[in-house]
């Protein structure tokens, strides 16, 4: 098994990047993409990713990610794990604290997904 904080990155196996208006999605691609969107389908996780992605220094300490929410520590930890397993963020432990940062390639590729051809 992977060690605690290492990312079991789902996106690593499937490239996928063609826009939704493009060629038909293969079943595998659809399954993998769906997992990423499932990670984004919760308000708390969206705000967490937003907090992390907008943090000065490009990373955020978990200790700063817990206070903005009216939720228990384990729940925040759970949501961070989901985002991690979707390949959207990575976590690193430095001393006592754990820092999370976004994975730019994983986020940027979603941008191209929603690019539509100009209506002629």
Nearest approach in angstroms of CB 120 to DNA is: 26
Q: Which residues pair with 101 in a beta bridge?
A: 90
CB 21 within 8 A of CB 119: no
Q: Which of residues 17-76 bind DNA (CB under 7 A)?
A: 38, 41-42, 44, 61-63, 66, 70-76
- HSE-CB of 52 using CA atoms within 13 angstroms: 28
From the list 1-9, 42-50, 72-80, 92-100, the region that binds a second copy by CB under 8 A is 42-50
Q: Which of residues 63-82 bind a second copy (CB under 8 A)?
A: none
Nearest approach in angstroms of CB 68 to a second copy is: 8
SS3 90: strand
């Amino acid at each position: 098994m992977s060690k605690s904080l290492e990312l079991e990155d789902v996106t690593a196996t499937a490239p996928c990047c063609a826009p939704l208006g493009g060629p038909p999605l293969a079943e595998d691609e659809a399954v993998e993409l769906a997992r990423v969107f499932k990670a984004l389908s919760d308000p708390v996780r969206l705000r967490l990713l937003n907090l992390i992605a907008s943090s000065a220094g490009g990373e955020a300490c978990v200790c700063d990610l817990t206070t903005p929410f009216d939720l228990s520590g384990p729940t925040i930890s759970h949501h961070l794990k989901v985002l991690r397993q979707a390949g959207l963020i990575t976590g690193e432990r430095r001393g006592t604290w754990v820092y999370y940062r976004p994975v730019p390639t994983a986020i940027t590729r979603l941008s191209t997904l929603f690019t539509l051809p100009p209506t002629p």
